[in-house]
Structure 1
Amino acid sequence: MSVGLPQDVNLIVIATSATGSRAHFYPDAKSLLAAVVGLGTTADADVRVEFFDKQGVRMHPVVAGKWQIVGIAPGVDDPGPEIVLSRLRTAVGDVENFLLDPATENALARMKLSPKEAVARLPRLDGVTDLAEAIRRCDGTFGHGDADTGHDGSLLHNLFVHGIF
């Protein structure tokens, strides 16, 4: 494990669609697979998904039977932490654009937030060159680091990550 990483972040999922990209952190493949059972997309029909571990190693789905995903396994390429860092920066930027879109204003108002206040809660990755630091900064937004007790994610996490796709 990398020094100082949130212990429950071992798998990073980047989903990209016509409306932008989002990121989600999972402790393991089992948690990811449990979360996606019956999960559909709401905004776009086509979503491309990339998987990485916390060191930047590209991960690949393991399929069985009728192309059912049963696990996630590392690829053979060297780690590419700079690729994951770039994807996280893009996801943060796309979420910021989403929050500033007038169509999102009502959802934010129900949370008693202005678009500017919501954007201020996003992680800042400007100048960050270390993937571990980026993961620490993003854990509350894209992971469950700021989840309420007994809940899978904060209201902003659920809006940022799950309210889009």
Structure 2
Amino acid sequence: MSAGLPQDINLIVIAVSATSSRAHLYPDVKTLLTALDGLVVAGGSNLRMEFFDKQGVRMHPVFGKKWQLVGIEAGVDGPEPEILLSRLRTAVTDIETYLFDPVVADVLAGMKLTPKQAAARLPRLAEVTDLAEALRRCDGPFGHADADPGDNGSPLHNLFVHGIL
């Protein structure tokens, strides 16, 4: 087995930007690594990510000899579900703000949605205290549960998670 590929098939890897402005759920480390292979960050900007498992345990990157990401492994600290829940709430708030940007509003109009209608599809986490429930609510918009057939994500997923216009 490769380094960083846990045998727990129920693992969910949550990648949250360091500023908590975006979040993405992956069913396992292999799917994350496949998604990152050949990825180019738009605009030449840096991409800073934090990784957690579904219990809120921080996951740390594992690098190969040429500094390529080859896996992710659990850290030594115990679960901190409240930190991950906070990161997810911040991501939802930031994405909701993003949806009301005039450029994004034009893209949404092409999808026959107003910013308010798109925002209504975001998970509501303000009153959620259970991480498992928060992750269940996030799976569609931040995971691939609502992906179009033959695609890695619906247009709203791509907008919410990746900022793809």
Q: Same fold (TM over 0.5)?
A: yes
Over the matched positions of the two proteins, sequence identity in percent amounts to 63
Matched AA of 2:65 = G
Correspondence list, 1:63-82, <5 A: 63-82=63-82
* 1:3 alignment counterpart: none
**Distance (whole Å) between structure 2 residues aligned to residue 42 and residue 9 of structure 1:** 29
Judging by fraction of residues, say which structure has more strand: 1
**CA apart distance, 1:90:** 0.4
9 and 147 in structure 1: CA distance in 2 versus 1, 3 angstrom threshold = farther
Give CA-to-partner distance per residue, 1:107-140, whole Å, 9 cap, x none.
1111110111111111100110000000001111
**CA apart distance, 1:157:** 0.2
1:27 and 2:18 equivalent?
A: no
Matched AA of 2:97 = N
Correspondence list, 1:1-165, <5 A: 10-16=12-18, 21-42=21-42, 45-163=45-163
**TM superposition outliers: structure 1 runs of 4+ over 6 Å:** none
**Distance (whole Å) between structure 1 residues aligned to residue 68 and residue 11 of structure 2:** 24
Corresponding residue SS for 2:42: coil
Corresponding residue SS for 2:23: strand
Unaligned ranges ≥5, structure 1: 1-6
Q: Between 152-161 and 128-137, report the one with greater CA deviation.
A: 152-161
Matched AA of 2:122 = L
* 1:4 alignment counterpart: none
TM-score, scaled relative to structure 1: 0.88
**Distance (whole Å) between structure 1 residues aligned to residue 50 and residue 81 of structure 2:** 13
* 2:5 alignment counterpart: none
Corresponding residue SS for 1:21: coil
**Distance (whole Å) between structure 2 residues aligned to residue 91 and residue 98 of structure 1:** 10
**CA apart distance, 1:63:** 0.9
**Distance (whole Å) between structure 2 residues aligned to residue 82 and residue 16 of structure 1:** 16
**Which has the bigger relative contact order, CA under 8 A and spacing at least 6?**
1
C-alpha RMSD of the superposition = 1.9
152 and 9 in structure 1: CA distance in 2 versus 1, 3 angstrom threshold = farther
**Distance (whole Å) between structure 1 residues aligned to residue 133 and residue 146 of structure 2:** 17
TM-score, scaled relative to structure 2: 0.88
104 and 85 in structure 1: CA distance in 2 versus 1, 3 angstrom threshold = same
**CA apart distance, 1:8:** 6.5
